[in-house]
Amino acid sequence: MKMIKTLLASAVACTALAAPVVNAAPIEIKFAHVVAENTPKGKMAIRFEKLVEERLPGKVDVKVYPNSQLFGDNKVLEAMLLGDVQLAAPSLSKFQKYTKQLQVFDLPFLFEDMEAVERFQQSEVGQGLLKSVERKGLMGIGYIHNGMKQLSAYDPLKAPADAKGKKFRIQTSDILAAQFEQVGGIPLKKPFSEVFTLLQTKAVDGTENPWSNIYSKKFHEVQPYITESNHGLLDYMVVTSKEFWMGLPDDIRPVVEKSLKEAIAYGNEVAAEKTKADRQAIIDSGRSKVIAMTDAERQQWVEAMKPVWKQFEDEIGKDLIDAALAANQK
């Protein structure tokens, strides 16, 4: 009897082993970000979801969480290392706990325009920076643009002296703090999800962001003046955890990577369009006065803020700053 039972048990086990795996659960990829869906990053994430699910039906399930729904800025990378989220694209200003090198992107008045940013990001040095977070268990997959930042405030900011004594909300970046301190401002590091309320309640006087963030989050409705300063960059690094990425099956990883790269290229097209369209929409709304700077006015801001380069040169590396600067040459 015992022998019959053993034979039956092994027959059942063999059948189970031989049976095809049906209904294997799809791999879940949670993509968390803090901006609205109608932004370069928001649209890029949705495009990625569509591409992957078309190419890997039933195998991969992408869930996009916009507007800080899942994690805010300061938590998302920690959550990624714990396996609670698989993809994010934080602003390059939010990586300073993971690498000092990416701080190069925060230096004020470093890049002349977005073409220079693109040249630097695609250069050997720029591509090397994607690896700068690997020591901490993260992997940079690519950059995605948002655009140049503009200064906004309750009062017009024409000359650097206009910023004196004013509180500015900034991202979690020591360089951005130093930049506002250079003009006598008081920087406050606060999450993106709190910016509208901080501005609306006048808990801060002003802030800095690219046109698409200002428009999509309605900052222009609570900031009567926007100075078209183009003084710094707000771009993103699409990032995942090394453990998750390397754990993806070999037939899945390349498809996910290809889809991400295509979605990034699309996001960059959206960024170029939105920079123009959202700037115009803000002007047309009449809610905020857009102040242009003359070359001489701009030069005053450059001179006031540029000492920050020297202040952070040792942390970032002079070679890196020089390589970024060289990208201004066509």
Q: Is the dihedral of CA 321, 152, 184, 302 positive or negative?
A: positive
Compute φ and ψ for 124, nearest 5 degrees. Answer: -60, -40
CA distance 215 to 36: 10
Pick one of 29, 34, 133, 178: the residue that binds ligand SIN (CB under 6 A).
34
146 binds ligand SIN (CB under 6 A): yes
Shortest Å distance, C-beta 17 to ligand SIN: 48
215 binds ligand SIN (CB under 6 A): no
Give whichever of 33 and 100 is closer to ligand SIN, judged by the CB atom: 33
213 binds ligand SIN (CB under 6 A): yes
Site pattern 71..110 for ligand SIN (x: CB under 6 A): --x-----------------x-------------------
- Are 149 and 213 within 8 A, CB to CB? no
Per CB under 6 A, contacts with ligand SIN among 170-209 are 171, 192, 209
CA distance 201 to 203: 5
Give whichever of 51 and 195 is closer to ligand SIN, judged by the CB atom: 195
Per-position b or e across 222-256, b if 16+ CB within 10 A of its CB: bbebbbebbbbbbbbbbbbbeebbeebeeeeeebb
CA distance 270 to 42: 10
The token pair at 108 is 């004020």
Site pattern 44..73 for ligand SIN (x: CB under 6 A): -----------------------------x
> Which residues lie near ligand SIN (CB under 6 A)?
34-35, 73, 91, 146, 171, 192, 209, 213, 234
